[in-house]
Structure 1
Amino acid sequence: MSEASSKISPSHLQRTAFVYIRQSSANQVENNRESTQRQYALAQRATALGWPEQHVCVVDDDLGLSGATTASRGGFARMTAEVALGHAGIILGLEVSRLARNNSDWYRLLDLCTMTDTLIGDADGVYNPALFNDRLLLGLKGTMSEAELHTLRARLDGGIRNKAARGELRRGLPTGMVWGEAEGEVRLHPDEAVISVLRAVFARFSEFGTARRVWLWFRAENLSFPLQLNYSTPEAIRWVAPTYIAIYNVLTNPVYAGAYCYGKSRKERYVDEHGVLKTRIRRLPQSQWSVLIRDHHEGYIDWATYETNQMRLATNTKPRPHEAGGAVREGTALLQGLATCGHCSRKLRTHYRGTNQTPGYHCSNKGIENSRGVYCLNVGGLQIDAAVTQAFLHAVEPAGLEAAVRAAERLEADHDAALAQWRLSVERAQYEAQRAERRYRAVDPENRLVARGLEAQWEKQLYELEQAQQELARREQLRPRTLSAQERHNLLSLGQDLQRLWEAPSLAVRDRKQLLRTLLEEVSITVNREQYQAHLKLRWRGGKLTECDVALPRSRPATIRTDEDTLALVRRLAQHYPDATIAGILNAQGRLSAQGLRFNQNLVGNLRRHWKIPCFEPPAERPEGELLSIRQAARVLCTAPSTLHRWVNAGFIAGEHPTTGAPWRIRITEALRGLFVDSTPDGYVAMQVATRRLGVSRQTVLQRVKRGELDAVLVRRGRAKGLRIKVVNDQPDFFERTS
């Protein structure tokens, strides 16, 4: 104590004594309480060394954190900052390992303590880092602490790896697998429903080929998926709606293939953009796994099937440049993902043209010809798809009978798989209902609070059982009828004709693409435009090559053009109307374009530009009067539109009407306004009087008005409204002279 007192000066006592407390994990904090109490007792030692109680600061912010690094240790960082500011007189720790487990942090603290004259104390004594002997001893203790951590880690990691190499290290297993009683024993889940669901995942994937379609099948069949709640208790299973991630994890986990794996990922340390040291998990390829023991236990599939599934999943992803593959997509192009350019070896892209969506293939690589970019390859797909189909059918013709047998059993097996899941669901619901009943009957009847809750739970389980039974009954009624012997014979005889099977409407395009991919790896297409021919190289799985030539349709000059009558009409209408109005007039007359389509603004514009027909432009000097439609003119003239239609058709009013279907337009002038009056002017008589005075028929009077020989007005108001004619002949009519 005298040696420690000689190192402690009054300047040290005037500053704060920091007591640093740390445990490496939460488990140690909870269970190793004796060590924690010893560290808290260091506060009394600081008081015994002469520091006042109010100058003693206990830093316990880092309880449950490792001392291997200063990352996330806020208490250590705060204490180091106080040392750098010269506020610390001494740092007390039970041992060096409590302060730091690596030399970089330890020596940084020693340097700060040397510069600020701060002491360090542990269970063995008090040290001054400024003194050579004390610093040498503290450095040795830090080195031993770091070596101790390395030794502990090496022992633990070595034991773990040694046990994992034997396949006996017990770690978390995926849903559907449980640990047995023997060392390293892995079994299938005891619940038959769980096993059946997982087997259905692998069976449907072998049929559909994509994880997404397997997931959609589960959702379409309204099937549940098991979720492991606790790995320590395999019975803790909750049935939920399946997700795509759950289906994908089942297909990619090697444990389901009977393999024991360890070290599939590693932890890496890196410095982020803020300079903070962090860790991340990086998945390793299969060649770098630490432990891989095949056939370690019983699995749902074998290892060969697992590797085939991984290759199939890999080909479903978007391929990299110059690589064929990709998931089967929509569209009628059969070689989507398989066709490559014979000139530059790039993967060909698909396109569809026309109203019939005719497939075609083109290369994304462009060259410059005549100062414009052109595709390296651009060809229609009908002839090419037909040639590849014939080559494929010829290759699989010996297997046609077997394919037909499998097709006959496919529908029944698919439906039976879904029925099996629902039967297991009914059994599970029956067990839950019986369990709820036993719990209800075992409760004390006088304890009504508990009894009511158990009774409600029993009723809920009975309701779910009833729903499951009804759904099972409904699905059994929808079960496809088993084929008779005669039907099976007819189907097998059809299997010998693969061409009819391939062209059957029931065979979807997606299925045709999937069948092609089972044998074909790549189809290279080279087009020779001068000879109107395409050269195909079919690379089959296994390395065999097949070459064939396909004749392409010869390009013919375009003979389709718009008829002359429609062109002449467009030329007349373009002087008065814009393209949208012209399209409406042509459609009203029932006219069609050269391709047999109804006209629209774009088609009329293209037609004008092709035949160099000028577009409609309003005149620079507008003529007298405003040009209005019949309805607009009727509102201005305060009359009915039907009246204007009659006057226009009769020729009393000038109207612009270029063709049938075009709207009438009337130019409102002062002369036209003068034809519509509210009262009868002097000298104007009714039509009957005019016919009597002129001694002519009504039609003759109207013709004279139309030719301008007689003046006429329209009275809009009063009982005498209507057409009035100005008669200049003052002679009495025939009837007056006779009387």
Structure 2
Amino acid sequence: MNHHKITSDHLQKKAYVYVRQSTLGQVLHHQESTDRQYALKDKALTLGWNEKEIRTLDRDLGMSGAQSEKREDFKTLLADVSLGEVGAVLALEASRLARSNTDWHRLIELCSLTGTLILDEDGVYDPADFNDGLLLGIKGTMSAAELHFLRGRLQGGKRNKAERGELRFPLPVGLCWDEAGGIVLDPDQEVQGAVWMVFRLFQETGSAYGVAHQFAAKGLKFPKRAYGGVWDGKLIWGHLTDSRVLSILKNPAYAGVYAFGRFRCVKEILQDGQIRQRVRKMPRDSWLVEIQNHHEGYTTWNEYLANQDQLERNRTQRPENILPQAAREGLALLQGLLVCGKCGRRLTVRYQGNGGIYPIYECNWRKREGRSKRSCMFLSCPPLDQAVAERVLAAVSPEQLQLALAAQDELLARDGSLRRQWEMRLQRAQYEADLAQRRYEQVDPDHRLVAASLEARWNKALAQVDEVRRQMEEFCRQQTRTFTEQQRQQILGLANDFPRLWRESATSAKDKKRMLRLLLEDITVERGADREVQLHVRWTGGACEDLTVTLPARIQDRLRYPAERIDEIRRLATEHTDAQIAALLNKRGQRSSRGKRFTGKMIGWIRYKHRIPAVELKRPDERTVAEVASRFGVSHGVVYYWIDRNILPARQQAANRPHWITLTDAKARELQDWVQSSKRIAKRSLKRQSA
């Protein structure tokens, strides 16, 4: 049997039978559909294709038709169709080939260009024909719409069930489903203890890395529950990593919250044009379902939010993060607390010097972003650290704590009067509710309209009582804490213990940073005039204070001698040698720019740097080596030979200083005769004279 649309050209080419099921579950449990698709090979034989020219593409079994990036056989089909090697494509229905309009219409367009037919159970279609192309387009649209409707019904059912808190999904370790469908703590006490330990250690260390480090240092293991396969439901104990700690701390299920929609699949276009799906974590305001107090947890919701804030402060790769980070081991005590007064970003710490042991605070965000060629500021750490530390130690003095406790008493008195106002307001609301109840109970039940009106007033009064009680409880939680006498003595004792603990050599820089974070919120830094820095300190509790720090002079300025010292050396150099000047300065108690005693070499370098001439101590009747060599027509070496052999009297102020020669008339005649009688000296003299 042959169809009128099938020509000899089609039969000379290959016929592709495309077989696909969406999931592996369908492949295993719905084999009838798979068998029907394989049976299309018999249809191709009936239509006239040779068995050798029929190719079955079944590598996409278990693959979704919503996209083509992972369907290798579909890519093969498109490639061979575009090369004109395929005469017909057989599929059970359009949804088997593609459930995406993009993939479907691309296949139709390629088939129309190469004259390839498309066959399904309903008939034979030529994409090059307008009517057939229109019909194929409608089938592809219906296939995509069918997938949309299926997904919408399934997702709607899941969300509806999740809004009731009944949708079951894999729970994190430490939580499990009970027989009634509720979420309970894992009955295994060892598992519970491990999870409790994570939250307790995070309160102590303040970082996920610190929790993982404590687990490793103590040799503790953490469980992981397997899902699927032969290990389904079994616990696997292993090392705890910092990424695992982060996943535990960020999971709201541990805070007793039922959350649905925390992650969503989004599509993105890669550089090669492929479309990829990836999972994106959504912010809390984008969660689809959030039910608090749904089940028992390992922490409270307020503690969960506080943990998220702490983790956010610990982040180091966010330029917009100006919050204090986790205390680390570096020497910079104000790391993470300083905020640039120019751009509002946090100052980072950079170590420089030989071995990287000299920390500085720097704000280079604008430079890194290309918005400026210079850093906003960079400051040496020690002056700022010392100024803030001294202010903190002064703030924890007994006098300051006495003032703080006195202010605390005033706040308690004020809060007590406010609390009494809230109590009276609650009593009035309760009286209104009781009055509404009595009126409702006294009404004739037959008067339904009156009874309904009074019942509505009673319900409104009860709601008002609940609202006033809630506001009062909120006020009580936020009011100033009351201290007992024992606690007052402990606070005053802290004034003596805190400075000692701060100056203790065993107190590490990390511990000092954690102390500062208990007292300080942040510090805004502004460069003042000349070498001054303004620190706007914001204490925990909201109090603000300004500190002025004078920075030390630059190293080049500290090593540069003042003009008065240079003038003094210039004056002394007219009558004294370098060694004599150094001795005079040392005798006066003066020291070099590095705090050392002066030496002749130091004075010589200062004279060279400032172009100060040395003292001239040559007598009028004395000659230099050059003058003597010129008079007798000999080299300088001959003159030095005469001096070394004591033939020519000379004197020298110090080593490596010029020789000053005393030349009498008798000594001059003696040396002249020596030069004339010496053959070697005479020849050199003649050569020099001729030259």
**TM category, shorter:** 0.5 to 0.7
Q: In structure 2, do the counterparts of structure 1 residues 386 and 62 end up closer, same or farther at CA, with 3 Å as the change threshold?
A: same
Task: Tell me by how many angstroms 1:166 deviates.
Answer: 2.0
| CA distance in structure 2 between the partners assigned to 1:134 and 1:316 by the alignment | 62
Gaps of 5+ in 1: 401-487, 573-591, 615-621, 625-657, 661-739
- For the residue of structure 2 that corresponds to 1:5, the secondary structure is coil
- For the residue of structure 2 that corresponds to 1:89, the secondary structure is strand
Structure 1 equivalent of residue 390 of structure 2? 386
Which of 97, 100, 103 is residue 102 of structure 1 equivalent to? 100
Q: In structure 2, do the counterparts of structure 1 residues 115 and 240 end up closer, same or farther at CA, with 3 Å as the change threshold?
A: closer
Structure 2 equivalent of residue 279 of structure 1? 277
| CA distance in structure 2 between the partners assigned to 1:23 and 1:595 by the alignment | 84
| Corresponding letter in the other structure for 1:167 | G
1:387–1:550: 8 Å Cα contact kept in structure 2? no
1:392–1:516: 8 Å Cα contact kept in structure 2? no
Task: Tell me by how many angstroms 1:392 deviates.
Answer: 5.5
| Corresponding letter in the other structure for 2:58 | D
Gaps of 5+ in 2: 368-372, 406-486, 583-590, 612-634, 638-652, 656-691
Task: Tell me by how many angstroms 1:25 deviates.
Answer: 1.7
Structure 1 equivalent of residue 34 of structure 2? 36
Structure 2 equivalent of residue 514 of structure 1? 514
| Corresponding letter in the other structure for 1:208 | T
Structure 1 equivalent of residue 421 of structure 2? none
Superposed counterparts of 1:134-145, under 5 Å: 134-145=132-143
| CA distance in structure 2 between the partners assigned to 1:346 and 1:217 by the alignment | 32
| CA distance in structure 2 between the partners assigned to 1:46 and 1:218 by the alignment | 66
Task: Tell me by how many angstroms 1:286 deviates.
Answer: 1.4
| CA distance in structure 1 between the partners assigned to 2:94 and 2:146 by the alignment | 11
1:25–1:63: 8 Å Cα contact kept in structure 2? yes
Task: Tell me by how many angstroms 1:354 deviates.
Answer: 11
Q: In structure 2, do the counterparts of structure 1 residues 502 and 352 end up closer, same or farther at CA, with 3 Å as the change threshold?
A: farther
| Corresponding letter in the other structure for 2:313 | T
- For the residue of structure 2 that corresponds to 1:296, the secondary structure is coil
| CA distance in structure 2 between the partners assigned to 1:64 and 1:97 by the alignment | 14
1:393–1:498: 8 Å Cα contact kept in structure 2? no
Task: Tell me by how many angstroms 1:245 deviates.
Answer: 1.7
Structure 1 equivalent of residue 523 of structure 2? 523
2:363–2:378: 8 Å Cα contact kept in structure 1? yes
| CA distance in structure 1 between the partners assigned to 2:294 and 2:597 by the alignment | 70
Structure 2 equivalent of residue 201 of structure 1? 198
| CA distance in structure 2 between the partners assigned to 1:89 and 1:351 by the alignment | 69
| Corresponding letter in the other structure for 2:167 | L
Structure 2 equivalent of residue 472 of structure 1? none
Q: In structure 2, do the counterparts of structure 1 residues 100 and 307 end up closer, same or farther at CA, with 3 Å as the change threshold?
A: same
| CA distance in structure 2 between the partners assigned to 1:214 and 1:536 by the alignment | 34
| CA distance in structure 1 between the partners assigned to 2:163 and 2:67 by the alignment | 30
- For the residue of structure 1 that corresponds to 2:142, the secondary structure is helix
Instruction: Determine if the alignment matches structure 1 residue 306 to structure 2 residue 304.
Output: yes
| Corresponding letter in the other structure for 1:206 | Q
1:92–1:120: 8 Å Cα contact kept in structure 2? yes
Task: Tell me by how many angstroms 1:301 deviates.
Answer: 0.5
Task: Tell me by how many angstroms 1:296 deviates.
Answer: 1.6
Q: In structure 2, do the counterparts of structure 1 residues 141 and 502 end up closer, same or farther at CA, with 3 Å as the change threshold?
A: same
- For the residue of structure 1 that corresponds to 2:278, the secondary structure is strand
| Corresponding letter in the other structure for 1:503 | W
Q: In structure 2, do the counterparts of structure 1 residues 274 and 352 end up closer, same or farther at CA, with 3 Å as the change threshold?
A: closer
Task: Tell me by how many angstroms 1:179 deviates.
Answer: 1.6
Q: In structure 2, do the counterparts of structure 1 residues 500 and 610 end up closer, same or farther at CA, with 3 Å as the change threshold?
A: same
1:173–1:231: 8 Å Cα contact kept in structure 2? no
| Corresponding letter in the other structure for 1:152 | L
| CA distance in structure 2 between the partners assigned to 1:104 and 1:396 by the alignment | 73
Structure 2 equivalent of residue 68 of structure 1? 66
| Corresponding letter in the other structure for 2:216 | R
Q: In structure 2, do the counterparts of structure 1 residues 610 and 79 end up closer, same or farther at CA, with 3 Å as the change threshold?
A: same
Query: How many corresponding residue pairs?
Result: 504
| CA distance in structure 2 between the partners assigned to 1:489 and 1:36 by the alignment | 80
| CA distance in structure 2 between the partners assigned to 1:344 and 1:160 by the alignment | 47
Which of 152, 155, 172 is residue 153 of structure 2 equivalent to? 155
| Corresponding letter in the other structure for 1:385 | A
- Cα deviation code 1:674-718 (max 9, x no counterpart): xxxxxxxxxxxxxxxxxxxxxxxxxxxxxxxxxxxxxxxxxxxxx
Instruction: Determine if the alignment matches structure 1 residue 225 to structure 2 residue 222.
Output: yes
| CA distance in structure 2 between the partners assigned to 1:606 and 1:294 by the alignment | 77
1:322–1:345: 8 Å Cα contact kept in structure 2? no
| Corresponding letter in the other structure for 2:608 | K
| CA distance in structure 2 between the partners assigned to 1:359 and 1:112 by the alignment | 66
| CA distance in structure 2 between the partners assigned to 1:541 and 1:82 by the alignment | 71
Structure 1 equivalent of residue 213 of structure 2? 216
| CA distance in structure 2 between the partners assigned to 1:362 and 1:44 by the alignment | 77
Range that drifts further, 339-348 or 284-293:
339-348
Q: In structure 2, do the counterparts of structure 1 residues 514 and 606 end up closer, same or farther at CA, with 3 Å as the change threshold?
A: farther
1:264–1:284: 8 Å Cα contact kept in structure 2? yes
Structure 1 equivalent of residue 585 of structure 2? none
| CA distance in structure 1 between the partners assigned to 2:165 and 2:76 by the alignment | 45
Task: Tell me by how many angstroms 1:70 deviates.
Answer: 2.4
- Cα deviation code 1:242-261 (max 9, x no counterpart): 22222222222222111122
Which of 537, 542, 546 is residue 544 of structure 2 equivalent to? 546
| CA distance in structure 1 between the partners assigned to 2:89 and 2:345 by the alignment | 69
1:341–1:377: 8 Å Cα contact kept in structure 2? no
Task: Tell me by how many angstroms 1:264 deviates.
Answer: 1.6
Task: Tell me by how many angstroms 1:280 deviates.
Answer: 2.0
| Corresponding letter in the other structure for 2:334 | L
- Cα deviation code 1:551-580 (max 9, x no counterpart): 75998988999999xx957999xxxxxxxx
CA RMSD of aligned residues (A): 4.7
Task: Tell me by how many angstroms 1:267 deviates.
Answer: 1.7
Task: Tell me by how many angstroms 1:298 deviates.
Answer: 1.0
Range that drifts further, 532-541 or 274-283:
532-541
Instruction: Determine if the alignment matches structure 1 residue 537 to structure 2 residue 541.
Output: no
Structure 2 equivalent of residue 257 of structure 1? 255
1:523–1:536: 8 Å Cα contact kept in structure 2? yes
TM-score by length of 1: 0.58
> Matched residues, percent identical?
38
Structure 2 equivalent of residue 692 of structure 1? none
1:365–1:376: 8 Å Cα contact kept in structure 2? no
| Corresponding letter in the other structure for 1:105 | D
Q: In structure 2, do the counterparts of structure 1 residues 571 and 273 end up closer, same or farther at CA, with 3 Å as the change threshold?
A: farther
Superposed counterparts of 1:574-593, under 5 Å: none
1:533–1:549: 8 Å Cα contact kept in structure 2? no
Task: Tell me by how many angstroms 1:342 deviates.
Answer: 5.2
Structure 1 equivalent of residue 121 of structure 2? 123
| CA distance in structure 2 between the partners assigned to 1:104 and 1:31 by the alignment | 30
1:316–1:327: 8 Å Cα contact kept in structure 2? yes
2:118–2:124: 8 Å Cα contact kept in structure 1? yes
| CA distance in structure 2 between the partners assigned to 1:310 and 1:358 by the alignment | 33
Superposed counterparts of 1:405-444, under 5 Å: none
1:397–1:498: 8 Å Cα contact kept in structure 2? no
Instruction: Determine if the alignment matches structure 1 residue 612 to structure 2 residue 608.
Output: yes
Superposed counterparts of 1:287-326, under 5 Å: 287-318=285-316, 320=319, 323-326=322-325
- For the residue of structure 1 that corresponds to 2:75, the secondary structure is helix
- For the residue of structure 1 that corresponds to 2:3, the secondary structure is helix
2:578–2:601: 8 Å Cα contact kept in structure 1? no
- For the residue of structure 1 that corresponds to 2:80, the secondary structure is helix
Task: Tell me by how many angstroms 1:361 deviates.
Answer: 5.9
2:578–2:600: 8 Å Cα contact kept in structure 1? no
Task: Tell me by how many angstroms 1:237 deviates.
Answer: 1.8
Q: In structure 2, do the counterparts of structure 1 residues 234 and 537 end up closer, same or farther at CA, with 3 Å as the change threshold?
A: farther
Q: In structure 2, do the counterparts of structure 1 residues 571 and 146 end up closer, same or farther at CA, with 3 Å as the change threshold?
A: farther
Q: In structure 2, do the counterparts of structure 1 residues 18 and 334 end up closer, same or farther at CA, with 3 Å as the change threshold?
A: closer
TM-score by length of 2: 0.62
- Cα deviation code 1:275-296 (max 9, x no counterpart): 2222222222111122222222
Structure 1 equivalent of residue 85 of structure 2? 87
Structure 2 equivalent of residue 12 of structure 1? 10
Structure 2 equivalent of residue 503 of structure 1? 502
